[in-house]
Chain A
Amino acid sequence: GENVEQHPSTLSVQEGDSAVIKCTYSDSASNYFPWYKQELGKRPQLIIDIRSNVGEKKDQRIAVTLNKTAKHFSLHITETQPEDSAVYFCAKFSRAAGNKLTFGGGTRVLVKP
């Protein structure tokens, strides 16, 4: 019940198009869902997060949606730009599972100019 499944593993989009990454989990106790962006050779950086009492959160061109009933959450990037090319990781936090995040396997996003 601790795993996070992330899809797709790779995503290629044309500049200006939208990109969507989806993560699913199975335990009901998870209440915090962050997304990290990792550029080549760099550390993962938190880009947006959402808590279980909220269904959607937006920050400029990125948004995250959460469906607690279906146990999935998604990252949406609109009007993609070349600098959005990176690996994106979703994660979930559950106090019942210990004081740690459980990460998805990552999605490599390539934005083609």
Chain B
Amino acid sequence: SQTIHQWPATLVQPVGSPLSLECTVEGTSNPNLYWYRQAAGRGLQLLFYSVGIGQISSEVPQNLSASRPQDRQFILSSKKLLLSDSGFYLCAWRAGTQQETQYFGPGTRLLVL
């Protein structure tokens, strides 16, 4: 069966520091991968999605970037964190372009101080 992992689970970082969040999926090939951010008490904001290795689509211009170095690995990065980057970061996957059902990872809670 398919599983999705995210790490770290929680992170406290100072303003201006770099960020790297990782997401990996097991049990499937060539998944579509997504990064969402959820501010406290708010909805789901799509940040990036990828349909294949090296293919990244950005939804919202900001100081974040994403990369997909391997088929089942999706990384969210920042060179300099802002206070407004605090939130719950969720990775999600979908089994390719012919499947609509999407599943979320456990999330990373980021607090920028």
Contact = CB atoms under 8 A, between A and B. Distances in A.
A41 B66 CA distance: 24
Contact of B101 (A46, A100, A105, A106): A46
A73 interface: no
Interface residues of A, number: 21
A89 B44 CA distance: 9
A98 B105 CA distance: 21
B102 A43 contact: no
B44 A99 contact: no
B49 A43 contact: no
Interface string A34-54: 101000001111100100000
A17 to B, nearest CB: 24
Given A43-B106, A46-B101, A46-B103, A100 B44 contact: no
Interface residues of B, number: 20
A78 to B, nearest CB: 24
Contact of A44 (B32, B44, B94, B101): B44
A18 B65 CA distance: 43
A11 interface: no
A43 B91 CA distance: 10
A25 interface: no
B51 A99 contact: yes
A40 B45 CA distance: 17
B46 A100 contact: yes
Interface of B: 32, 34, 42-44, 46, 49, 51, 57, 90, 94, 97, 100-107
29 contacts: A31-B100, A32-B100, A34-B100, A34-B101, A34-B102, A43-B104, A43-B105, A44-B90, A44-B104, A45-B104, A46-B101, A46-B102, A46-B103, A89-B44, A95-B97, A98-B49, A99-B32, A99-B97, A100-B34, A100-B46, A100-B49, A101-B100, A101-B102, A103-B43, A103-B44, A104-B43, A106-B42, A106-B43, A106-B44
Interface of A: 31-32, 34, 36, 42-46, 49, 89, 93, 95, 98-101, 103-106
